[in-house]
Amino acid sequence: MSAQKGLNLTLKVWRQKNNKDKGQMETYQVADISTDSSFLEMMDILNEQLIAEGKEPVAFDHDCREGICGSCSMYINGEAHGPGREITTCQLHMREFKDGDTIYIEPWRAKAFPVIKDLVVDRSAFDRVMAAGGFISVNTSGNTQDANSIPIEKADADKAFDAATCIGCGACVASCKNASAMLFVSAKVSQFALLPQGQVEAKERVQNMVKVMDEEGFGNCSNTGACEVECPKGISLENIARMNREYLSASVTSDK
């Protein structure tokens, strides 16, 4: 591992007491941050410092710190999850910064993701989109057919897997000028559209999920591609094309 180096940094952090409060940027200094530390470890150090000064620490979402739970959600220097491709904030390491840097840290900004406190936003709109159809309607009784009786072409299985790796972090929404959730929703629609098990209710699924997505206040897609660029899991825009195709086909052929 690279030699440790202590960074001195200026942090501009968004502080907001609750959803009703107006919120503002606050400036903090941190010193002697190891370049081997993760960005969230740097935030821990800031918080320990604030507690020692009798102030309230900065609230931020985080949990697994392995890049997979999708909790961490900071906007760093104007980018979702900060600089670097295909990473979450917990995978961002301080070696990406230089001594003396000023770093701007803000919450996700989208109408459908209201701020709860400081850097924490409410992403439950994603759960409601999922509840509208992000599943295959099969009983969980275990009385299903043998798993190998549904052979799936490797290429399809791999593509379905790639879509299924979405962690629901919301970086796509935060990066989109329209705050669109199309990348997230299309990843789930694609996963099931590519698998034989998902075919039976495919039409209903895409129509229901898109309907709730719109109702939740997410914007539309204008093919700018910022979502794909900022996605920590490299979910492809192809999925949006697939969802549009599925949606169009469902609209012209279904009874609804």
Partner 1 sequence: MTTLNSRIPEGPIADKWTNYKNNIRLVNPANKRSIDVIVVGTGLAGGSAAATLAELGYNVKAFCYQDSPRRAHSIAAQGGINAAKNYQGDGDSTYRLFYDTVKGGDYRSREANVHRLAEVSTNIIDQCVAQGVPFARDYGGLLDNRSFGGVQVSRTFYAKGQTGQQLLLGCYSAMSRQIGKGKIQMYNRHEMLDVVVVDGKARGIIARNLVNGEIERHSAHAVVIASGGYGNVFFLSTNAMGSNVSAGWKVHKRGAHFANPCFTQIHPTCIPQHGDQQSKLTLMSESLRNDGRIWVPAKKEDAEAIRAGKMSPLDIAEEDRDYYLERRYPSFGNLVPRDVASRAAKERCDAGFGVGTNETGEAVYLDFSSAIMRYGQEEANVKGYHNQSESQIRALGEKVVENKYGNLFQMYEKITADNPYKVPMKIYPAVHYTMGGVWVDYNLMTTIPGCYAIGEANFSDHGANRLGASALMQGLADGYFVLPYTIGDYLADDIRTGAIPTDTPEFDEAEKSVKDRIDFFLNNKGSKSVDHFHKRLGKVMWNKVGMARNEKGLKEAIAEIKEIREEFWKEVTVPGTNDSMNPELEKAGRVADFLELGELFARDALEREESCGGHYREEHSTEEGEAVRDDENFTHASVWEYKGEPSDAVLHKEELIYENIELKTRSYK
Least separation in angstroms between residue 45's CB and partner 1 is 7
Residue number with CB closer to partner 1 (26 or 224): 26
24 sits near partner 1 (criterion: CB under 8 A): no
- Exactly one of 24, 27, 100, 151 binds partner 1 (CB under 8 A); which one? 151
- Beta bridge pairs of residue 75: 80, 106
Least separation in angstroms between residue 252's CB and partner 1 is 25
- Closest by CA position to 40, among listed 4, 3, 76: 76
- Exactly one of 10, 29, 31, 56 binds partner 1 (CB under 8 A); which one? 56
Numbers of helices and strands, H then E, in the chain: 8, 7
111 sits near partner 1 (criterion: CB under 8 A): no
Element (H, E) at 9: strand 6-15
Contact 235, 86 (CB under 8 A): no
Residue number with CB closer to partner 1 (25 or 131): 131
Site for partner 1 in 34-53 (CB under 8 A): 34, 36-38, 40-41, 44-45, 48, 50-52
200 sits near partner 1 (criterion: CB under 8 A): no
Conformational region of residue 246, where left means phi above 0, alpha means psi within -120 to 50, and beta covers everything else: alpha
Residue number with CB closer to partner 1 (53 or 177): 53
Query: x/- site string to partner 1, residues 64 to 103, per CB under 8 A?
Result: xxxxxxxx--------------xx---x-x-x--------
Residue number with CB closer to partner 1 (122 or 222): 122
